[in-house]
Structure 1
Amino acid sequence: MTDSFTAIPTALALLCLIAALLPAVLAAVNLSVLRRPAPQDDPDLVSILIPARNEAGNIAETVRAALASTGVPVEVIVGDDHSTDATPEIVRAIGDPRLRLVSVPTLPEGWTGKNHACSHMAGSAAGRHLLFIDADVRLVPEAASCLAAQARRTGAALVSGVPRQRTETVGEMLTVPMIDFLLLGYLPVLLMRRLRDPSLGAACGQLILIDRAAYEATGGHGAIRMSLHDGVRLPRLFRAAGYRTELVAAATLATCRMYEGFAQAWAGFSKNAHEGMATPRALPVWTLLLGCGQVLPPLLVLAGLCGLIPTPALVAAALALLLALATRTAITLAVRAPLATIPLHPVAVLVALAIQWNVLLRRERAGAATWKGRSYPVSGA
């Protein structure tokens, strides 16, 4: 047996073990500190704002769930963004005095659709708190009260969390669960709470509660008007302005089925990838971290069982694989994701990296992102 046969695979397996240890430690800490906030009665009005563009299949359940909020007074505003289906008629038929349907003006140049709709709705809202939710998010009755209470307890101007993600096809299970894995496995929540560094800001665009005064002071969605990734840009905007942002465990506060099938999920995650991982500097680092920590370990274990790598490398790779699967299991249980996502995890990571690399390489060729029938230039393309 040559030295290189032993040294190189063993070094690679040890690198995998180190790369798997990082998210394991961070996830353990994050899962211990992220909690579902307790609800608290509050007389202050919460404005629940729902941008809707061709959401006839979702909007009725979403609006009714929002109107069922308890613990705080609410108004619900639906921004109809030039829907060509029955979305506005469905909203009007609900007939609750706390519900308003507003027509979003024609999209101006230099805005993305969701930011424009949210900014327009915010201008019509009366609440002290603005709770922005996507049209496929179903709130539990105490969700608005819980989020408003957390903002009051912590002094945060922005409170967010990831709803429980409903995944009903294998294609969705191969894509959507990466939201929770990346957030819980790679964001140092304790540092985020201690420091105001904008780079530590994180939120989920499906569920964001914002203090109205802070929203107006920062410019809100108008300040990120060309962004397709409000979950990244809004908390960074607020933190840069000196405000505190907060994350909570939201799997029991709301549910969401954000995509239906693999093709829709691929397109959806592709549209804002260039504002996250898919940059020339960030993506090689993410590829090293995720590839070594989550994708390579099962391949090395298989190679070891076939006698292609030495025993020390097999042992290190097996430990890395156990860490990776244990991390995925802990996150899966915490966010109430399907158990089937656990054995799919290495493939899901590989799919996530494929989406990011496809976006990065495509940006060099195209320079535009398309969503909901609209095309937007990609910044930096």
Structure 2
Amino acid sequence: MILALACLALLLCALPLLMFVKNMPLFCDPIEQLDVQAKQHQPGVSLLIPARDEQASIADCLQAALVSEAIDLEVIVLDDNSEDQTAAIVESFCQQDERVHLIQGQGLPDGWNGKQYACSQLAQAASKDHLAFIDADVRLANNALAKLAHYLADNDLGLVSAFPRQITASWSEHWLIPMMHFILLGYLPLQRMRQMADPSLAAGCGQLFLTTAEAYRQAGTHQAIRNSRHDGIMLPRAYRSAGLMSDVVDGTALAEVRMYEGAAQVARGLLKNASEGIAQPKLILVFSVLLLGCSLLPLGVVIAAAITHQWLALAIAAVAVIMGQVPRLYAAGKFRQSWFGAFCHVPATTMFVALQWQALLNQLMGRKVTWRGRST
């Protein structure tokens, strides 16, 4: 029995490791190798930023965006009924730079998620051929929008999303935020995703999207995902459902963001949209087996084999433990993630799976996690 479990653990650890090895160049190379200096055309980009109580971050966001190079830029910020100084800060930028515009958000209609309605209003106010949606805590590199716009055109895409470098500070952030990369690169076949417009292969990061205005209309705008909290998956899925291709790339050199601060925010942030991702009845059991099988299971088998003196099982399980650790260590080096978080892969994965089950329970009981004062 223990030997069989050791072999199972080895197989479950081999899957994400092999997928990582195959996916990493596909994920990283397209942007790293793109030379925007060789491009003659400067695309027009409307940078669209929904902002609700973002006084701590909006100034840095705008300062980074306004030094963007090789594009014709306009920046539109929607003040989504903020109760702090967000609007006043943006207004000061409007007075200094004519490319910056502030609009006031309307009341949230029934059936809409707050962020999706804000993005819909922003898109209506945009005047450029390309629309870039970013969160207010994202800091863009000066070539980020140009690279994404040219990548979109060169690959005949409707939508491209980039994963910014994730800044983490607390232990919970170190542990759990890098799980985004682990799941994306360990279980999504990127090559197949780029060959097929299957909506089930949709992937993205809601912190940074770029599309053309025409493709955005064809995909149904944010109206198509109006009640969703998980635009990272649902917006690319809307494009693919409309027959348009979407892609996801490494944005470590394009932008950085601190998504959540502290354990409470991390937990609520993961819980609020999990039911549209892994925490679905048809997926959660499969992913629980996959994730715990490449983290907790190998360690458990090592302990059991050592206690019962089953040395072959111990050797196989020990190899599985190492294999299970490699993707997190690989990602930590490549994406400048926390080494502490990488070495805590087992408790991090266990906690992540527990949060998915909590999200499913919340859904079944009709409970919604409040985020920025809203449950929608």
- TM-score band, normalised by shorter chain: over 0.9
Residue of structure 2 equivalent to 1:70: 69
- Amino acid of the residue matched to residue 350 of structure 1? T
* Paired-residue identity, %: 41
| CA distance in structure 1 between the aligned counterparts of 2:362 and 2:312, rounded to whole angstroms | 41
What's the secondary structure of 1:97's corresponding residue?
coil
1:15 aligns with 2:8: yes
Residue of structure 2 equivalent to 1:345: 345
Q: CA deviation at 1:39?
A: 4.4
- Amino acid of the residue matched to residue 127 of structure 1? K
Q: CA deviation at 1:312?
A: 1.8
Residue of structure 2 equivalent to 1:31: 24
Residue of structure 2 equivalent to 1:136: 137
Distance change in 2, residues 1:143/1:112 (3 Å): same
- Unpaired runs of 5+ residues, structure 2, are none
What's the secondary structure of 2:348's corresponding residue?
helix
294-303 or 141-150: bigger deviation: 294-303
Distance change in 2, residues 1:309/1:292 (3 Å): farther
Residue of structure 1 equivalent to 2:332: 332
Alignment of 1:133-282 (within 5 A): 133-282=134-283
Residue of structure 2 equivalent to 1:3: none
TM-score, normalised with respect to structure 2:
0.95
- Amino acid of the residue matched to residue 320 of structure 1? A
243-252 or 40-49: bigger deviation: 40-49
Q: CA deviation at 1:80?
A: 0.6
What's the secondary structure of 2:331's corresponding residue?
helix
| CA distance in structure 2 between the aligned counterparts of 1:361 and 1:56, rounded to whole angstroms | 34
103-112 or 240-249: bigger deviation: 240-249
How many pairs align? 368
Alignment of 1:85-124 (within 5 A): 85-94=84-93, 95-124=96-125
Q: CA deviation at 1:309?
A: 5.4
Residue of structure 1 equivalent to 2:370: 370
| CA distance in structure 1 between the aligned counterparts of 2:310 and 2:251, rounded to whole angstroms | 44
TM-score, normalised with respect to structure 1:
0.94
Q: CA deviation at 1:302?
A: 3.0
328-337 or 51-60: bigger deviation: 328-337
353-362 or 30-39: bigger deviation: 30-39
- Unpaired runs of 5+ residues, structure 1, are 1-7, 377-381
Distance change in 2, residues 1:314/1:72 (3 Å): same
What's the secondary structure of 1:131's corresponding residue?
strand
8 Å Cα contact 1:39-1:145 kept in structure 2: no
| CA distance in structure 2 between the aligned counterparts of 1:314 and 1:206, rounded to whole angstroms | 43
8 Å Cα contact 1:45-1:72 kept in structure 2: yes
Q: Please give the root-mean-square deviation of Cα atoms over the aligned residues, in Å.
A: 1.2
8 Å Cα contact 2:43-2:71 kept in structure 1: yes
| CA distance in structure 2 between the aligned counterparts of 1:219 and 1:327, rounded to whole angstroms | 37
Residue of structure 2 equivalent to 1:379: none
What's the secondary structure of 1:48's corresponding residue?
strand
- Amino acid of the residue matched to residue 293 of structure 1? C
What's the secondary structure of 1:159's corresponding residue?
strand
What's the secondary structure of 1:130's corresponding residue?
strand
